[in-house]
Amino acid sequence: MLLGGRYLVEAPISSGAMGAVHRAIDRLSGEVVAVKRLLDLTQLARFEIEARVLAQLEHDRVVRVIDHFNDPCGYFLVMEHIAGESLDELLQRRGAPGLPVEEVLDHAEQACEALEYVHRQRVVHRDVKPSNLIVGEHGVVLVDFGVARELGESPAGTVAVGTPRFMAPEVFSGGSVSERSDVFSLAVTITALITGEPPSYADRTPLRARRPDVPPEVEAALCGGREFMPERRIPTVVAFAEALGRPLGTLGGASLARSVETPDVPRSVIEAIVRTAAGVFDAAAASVALTDEATGELVFQAAWGAGAAEIVGVRLPRGVGVSGAVAVSGEPAVVPECRDDPRFAAAIAARTGYVPNTMLVVPLRRGLETVGVLQLLDRRDGGKYEAADLSRATLFAELAITAL
């Protein structure tokens, strides 16, 4: 089967609640790739928005998202194919019934490196398990981000997505997800690799009763990572790795926040603003544009998320587009459907490679003067920005301009 006129499907790899993954050949590059088809079509908008964000992730321990497209057969996400054996396959092949503790801790440390980067980019995986951790040429790689969610996103009205027994209780019950959810799943994964199978939620049998060679501090870390109540759980993968006796070293990977080469304000501040704005407003992309006093143009100084590299440095003529109109009027704007708004600068958006569905733009004011705008694009849950979002966004803009 040929998908998207480009990807020749060869064989199935896996399937789950949100999609099936197949091995395929990219006929343009000749590379082997993994193609995921969305099975739950009610999640199409969120899946498409999520794909744009995931395509920006760049870390040696995180699978690279190459492409996403619509096809008569469905909606697809294309990822690099990691050659190697999953930890689940490794456990099935060599477990007796579990793997050597030091080997498991090596894998755990590398999984923590992957998750620390992902969480730093405000993404939570939600399906950490042995089959989604591949031992490649250079160690463990975290794969299959098809069900990733924004940190702190409230999934009200949605069903839980993930794998039972590896899934954090709050995810299973449809509650809010956070990095603590991934800590739980990783703790269960490590326990399964040591004992040969994942524990049940109610299982509190001492690990050392089954594996006396497990150090006491490792058992304590795994218990802390598997706390049923998220507020009592080890809060971050950095803290979890340290509790395991494997503190993380230098943190790598490309940030989803970008800024121009010489921003008008400190780079660390303006990048922190767009990153935080994206998290607060559940946005797939956020950017700050400041007015060039000489020309009156808006210059996008920093951005986070989908299309960040393309929008940074773009100059928007005075009054052009929704952001240009907000800069002139000084009045915030909410656009539920971008394509229906006559102010929307579709040509400029197309040049950046990112045409949003919905957007929220608020002015950055210094006293009575509008000196720029804060722009938020696409809710990560696939919903639309509404007038109710404006008051919070205006308050955030006041804080942002104070920082700037």
What's 34-73 look like in SS3?
Answer: EEEEECCHHHHHHHHHHHHHHCCCECCCECCEEEEEEECC
As a whole number, mean pLDDT of residues 292-316 equals: 93
End-to-end CA distance of the chain: 53
CA distances from 305 to 34, 52, 274, 299 (A): 23, 8, 9, 18
pLDDT > 70? residue 152: no
Q: Cα dihedral sign for 123, 129, 133, 139?
A: positive
As a whole number, mean pLDDT of residues 171-194 equals: 92
Residue 162 has what pLDDT? 58
**Residue 196: DSSP 8-state:** S
Residue 396 has what pLDDT? 96
Residue 147 has what pLDDT? 53
Q: In whole angstroms, give the CA distance from residue 17 to residue 163.
A: 9
Residue 363 has what pLDDT? 97
pLDDT over 90 percentage in the chain: 67
* The one-letter amino acid at 81: H
As a whole number, mean pLDDT of residues 365-387 equals: 93
Q: pLDDT higher for 70 or 295?
A: 295
Residue 203 has what pLDDT? 84
Please answer whether residues 355 and 345 qualify as being in contact, where contact means their C-beta atoms are separated by less than 8 angstroms. Answer: no
The interaxial angle of helices 87-94 and 179-195, nearest 10 deg, is 20
Nearest 10 degrees: Cα torsion 152, 153, 156, 162: -90
Residues with a catalytic annotation lie at 127
Q: What percent of the residues of the chain are helix, what percent strand, and what percent coil, each to the nearest 5?
A: 35, 25, 40
b/e code 307-325 from CB counts within 10 Å (16+ = b)? bbebbbebebeeebbbbbb
**Residue 295: DSSP 8-state:** T
Please answer whether residues 3 and 23 qualify as being in contact, where contact means their C-beta atoms are separated by less than 8 angstroms. Answer: no
Residue 18 has what pLDDT? 57
Instruction: State the DSSP H helix or E strand holding residue 133, giving kind and residue range, or none if neither.
Output: strand 133-136
As a whole number, mean pLDDT of residues 335-345 equals: 91
Q: pLDDT higher for 45 or 52?
A: 52
Most confident of the ranges 11-15, 18-22, 114-118 = 114-118
Band (155; pLDDT cuts 50, 70, 90): very low
Residue 157 has what pLDDT? 41
Q: In whole angstroms, give the CA distance from residue 263 to residue 289.
A: 10
As a whole number, mean pLDDT of residues 381-388 equals: 90
Please answer whether residues 339 and 346 qualify as being in contact, where contact means their C-beta atoms are separated by less than 8 angstroms. Answer: yes
Q: Are strands 139-142 and 133-136 parallel, antiparallel or unpaired?
A: antiparallel
In 159-258, where does DSSP find H-type helix? 169-172, 179-195, 207-210, 216-225, 237-243
Q: In whole angstroms, give the CA distance from residue 365 to residue 277.
A: 17
Residue 149 has what pLDDT? 47
pLDDT > 80? residue 161: no
Residue 264 has what pLDDT? 86
As a whole number, mean pLDDT of residues 26-42 equals: 86
Residues whose CB falls within 8 Å of the CB of residue 119, separated by 6 or more in sequence, listed in order? 151, 179, 182, 236, 237
Q: What are the tens digits of pLDDT across the range 88-144? A: 999 999 999 999 999 999 999 999 999 999 999 888 888 899 999 999 989 999 998
Among the listed residues 125, 174, 129, 400, the one whose alpha carbon sits nearest the alpha carbon of residue 287: 400
Neighbours of 1 (CB within 10 A): 11
Nearest 10 degrees: Cα torsion 165, 170, 175, 179: -100
Arithmetic mean of pLDDT over the chain: 89
The interaxial angle of helices 179-195 and 101-120, nearest 10 deg, is 170
Mean pLDDT check: name the lowest of 37-51, 217-231, 288-302: 37-51
pLDDT > 50? residue 209: yes
Q: In whole angstroms, give the CA distance from residue 71 to residue 37.
A: 10
Q: What would the two tokens of residue 379 be?
A: 């809710």
- Domains, the chain, ranges and CATH? 2-80 (3.30.200.20), 85-243 (1.10.510.10), 257-403 (3.30.450.40)
* The one-letter amino acid at 43: Q
As a whole number, mean pLDDT of residues 294-306 equals: 94
Residue 158 has what pLDDT? 44
Please answer whether residues 374 and 327 qualify as being in contact, where contact means their C-beta atoms are separated by less than 8 angstroms. Answer: no
Instruction: State the DSSP H helix or E strand holding residue 244, giving kind and residue range, or none if neither.
Output: none
- pTM of this prediction? 0.85
pLDDT > 70? residue 153: no
Q: In whole angstroms, give the CA distance from residue 145 to residue 403.
A: 34
Mean pLDDT check: name the lowest of 10-14, 34-38, 145-149, 344-348: 145-149
pLDDT > 70? residue 166: yes
As a whole number, mean pLDDT of residues 33-54 equals: 80
Band (70; pLDDT cuts 50, 70, 90): confident
Q: Are strands 315-316 and 298-305 parallel, antiparallel or unpaired?
A: antiparallel
Q: pLDDT higher for 41 or 113?
A: 113
